[in-house]
Chains A and B, each alone.
Chain A
Amino acid sequence: MIVLWALLGIGLALGTSLGLGSIAPWLTSYVDLTMLPLVVYALRTSQRSSMIVGCATGLLQDYWIEPRLFGIDALVKTILGWALGGLGARFDLNTFWGRFAAGASVHLLDEGLQAALRRLFGETLAPVAVSTLAVRALAGGLLTAAVLVILSRTGSARSAARPKHRKA
């Protein structure tokens, strides 16, 4: 059942992200919807599941919109899943500000890791605009917090009936 939910989440995030790239391409500069399954799994389940979900989402995303470095998004999301999952296991990030910080930081770290890996593989880098990064962090943080609030409300009955045990 857990795998089915993960597949549904990944599919929904990927489909919405690709749709956004067609309807409002400018929004893709600021928000990466495929980060959402990773953050949700990092804050609600385990570090390992967040790494695997991140890797799977990244591979699918790479196939459609990465022209040269197939696997770069998968690697970045695996690292982010590990980092955020580790933090989620140690601290309670399931508050509004915790969720906001998690969403904002993964969007910022994504940009940094992508730049570092592209540099490693000999690609030319564009200068980073601080204003774009700030909007990206703000939009990512708010979106993550909003999605997690919605998920908490819709899943609260289920969670109450079956308490979850977090794993490292």
Chain B
Amino acid sequence: MAAVSPARANTLLLGVMSFGLLLLMAASVRGGVAGAAVAGAAGTASAPIVSAERSITRILLNVIHFFRDIDADERENVKLRREVARLGAELARAGERGQENARLRRLLGMREDLVPRSVGGSVVTSRLAGQSRVILVDRGGSDGVRPDMAVVAWGGAVGRVVSVERDFARVRLLTDPNSGAAGVIVRSRVEGMAVGRGGDPMEMLYVPKYADVVVGDRVVTSGLDGVFPRGFGLGRVTVVGAPVGASKTIRLEPEVDDRSIEDVLILLEPAGTRLLAPEEPESAP
């Protein structure tokens, strides 16, 4: 029997490996057992590496923050004192409005809770490639995190949990080309769907061509997608382009810069599922 040349043997090996990996990808898309088993083995094998990496990264981040904060602390302190004074007055007014809002919502039969239960988490790592934008957070199934939960940060919506392990969760960012959130323009209440475009600015789809939209308008989540509650910032309109068919082309600058996310909040209840008790007595006017 003729011996197979090394080059041909390697090509054959490539074919076998490619076929196996394609099957693995198909299994992972369909949620098959084989995909989960190989993923579990990969996770177990690399867990010590990631554990060591996290310890070293934490030390490095502490050092970086220490030097960065030394300069910024003094200026920040003065700024924060002013902000606290302003927010104190604002809070008192908001309290009044909140009570009024609760009364009006009950009158209108709106039962959605405004403050969903949540858990805070830190970003372990991230991948901001063109076709895939994902972060890994250090909260998982043991903390009550489940797929499809909304993830927000200081400033606005960040993304959606796509898969969960025991101690961490993978979050697909809103800038990922396969992500989207229902949004509404705050000024004109025009609704649309904000979708990611990789490294490019986000796009808002399905906005009628005669809708009132101008550059600088702020877009927040509308709550219609069933993932994000209402009111979390999505971005600001940077471009209002020529209409394509019946829709306008709108570009958004994301509210949260995904290149600098360090801590996030995972909302543990899907939007609109927490109900106020119907028998809850109204507060005295």
Contacts and interface: CB of A to CB of B under 8 A. Distances in A.
Given A69-B29, A115-B130, A127-B197, 5 more contacts: A15-B49, A19-B53, A29-B199, A47-B10, A68-B162
B146 interface: no
Contacts of A41: none
- Which of A70, A117, A128 has the most B CB atoms < 10 Å from its CB? A70
B112 interface: no
A75 B20 CA distance: 9
B110 interface: no
Interface residues of A, number: 56
Interface in B88-127: 123-127
A28 B21 contact: no
A132 B28 CA distance: 30
B50 A64 contact: yes
A167 B124 CA distance: 39
Contact of A15 (B17, B50, B129, B162): B50
Interface of A: 11, 14-19, 21-23, 25-26, 28-29, 32, 47-48, 51, 55, 59-60, 62-72, 74-75, 78-79, 82, 85-86, 89, 111, 114-115, 117-118, 121, 123-129, 132, 167-168
A124 B178 contact: yes
Given A15-B53, A72-B25, A129-B199, A62 B134 contact: no
21 contacts: A18-B50, A19-B53, A25-B135, A25-B258, A48-B6, A48-B10, A48-B13, A60-B45, A63-B46, A68-B162, A70-B24, A71-B35, A75-B21, A85-B10, A86-B7, A121-B25, A123-B131, A123-B178, A126-B196, A126-B198, A132-B130
A139 to B, nearest CB: 13
Contact of B126 (A25, A86, A125, A129): A25
A23 B136 CA distance: 13
B69 interface: no
A69 B25 CA distance: 5
B127 A28 contact: yes
A85 B17 CA distance: 16
B10 A86 contact: yes
A69 B28 contact: yes
